[in-house]
């Protein structure tokens, strides 16, 4: 079982809906990530939070809004999505090497939230 928990596992929403994806880890990791994965494609980085601050936004459309309420939680708020946003959304966490302030490279992924936008 993964130590990163994502909810919901499946979500179907209309283009006018507002929903949120949630992610939780209790490994003490200070870097958390959102990735998007389409079928037969690799995970694509969306956002990185380090020490609860947004450090990387890969030019993601504003209809995706991340939030990191504390060091264990990461949310992704969804609003006015398009059908092409349907994908598996993966949350991950990693340790940060405090001296170098870089991630260790070992990502722990949740099982993902499979999103369908109608």
Partner 1 sequence: RKEVEQDPGPFNVPEGATVAFNCTYSNSASQSFFWYRQDCRKEPKLLMSVYSSGNEDGRFTAQLNRASQYISLLIRDSKLSDSATYLCVVNRSGGSSNTGKLIFGQGTTLQVKP
Position 34 contacts partner 1 (CB under 8 A):
no
Instruction: Name residue, tokens 């919901």.
Output: 8
Site residue total, partner 1 (CB under 8 A): 23
Position 13 contacts partner 1 (CB under 8 A):
no
| Token output for 32 | 């958390």
Q: Which of 12-20, 36-44, 63-71, 74-82 is the region at the interface with partner 1 (rule: CB under 8 A)?
A: 36-44
Determine the Cα–Cα distance for residues 31 and 22; give it in Å rounded to an integer.
15
Q: Which of 17-25, 45-53, 61-69, 72-80 is the region at the interface with partner 1 (rule: CB under 8 A)?
A: 45-53
Nearest residue to 64 via CA among 42, 84, 81, 39:
81
Could you give the dihedral angle defined by the CA atoms of residues 22, 64, 31 and 103, in that order, rounded to the nearest 10 degrees? 140
Residues interacting with partner 1, by CB under 8 A? 2, 31, 41-45, 48, 50, 55-56, 90, 96, 101-103, 105-107, 109-112
């Amino acid at each position: 079982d993964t130590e990163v928990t994502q909810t919901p596992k499946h979500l179907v929403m209309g283009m006018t809906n507002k929903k949120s994806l949630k992610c939780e880890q209790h490994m003490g990791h200070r870097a958390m990530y959102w990735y998007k994965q389409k079928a037969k494609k690799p995970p694509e980085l969306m956002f990185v939070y380090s020490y609860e601050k947004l450090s990387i936004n890969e030019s993601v459309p504003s209809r995706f809004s991340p939030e990191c309420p504390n060091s264990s939680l990461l949310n992704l708020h969804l609003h006015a999505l398009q059908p092409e946003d349907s994908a598996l959304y993966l949350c991950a966490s990693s340790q940060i090497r405090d001296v170098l302030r870089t991630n260790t490279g070992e990502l722990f992924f949740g099982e993902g939230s499979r999103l369908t936008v109608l």
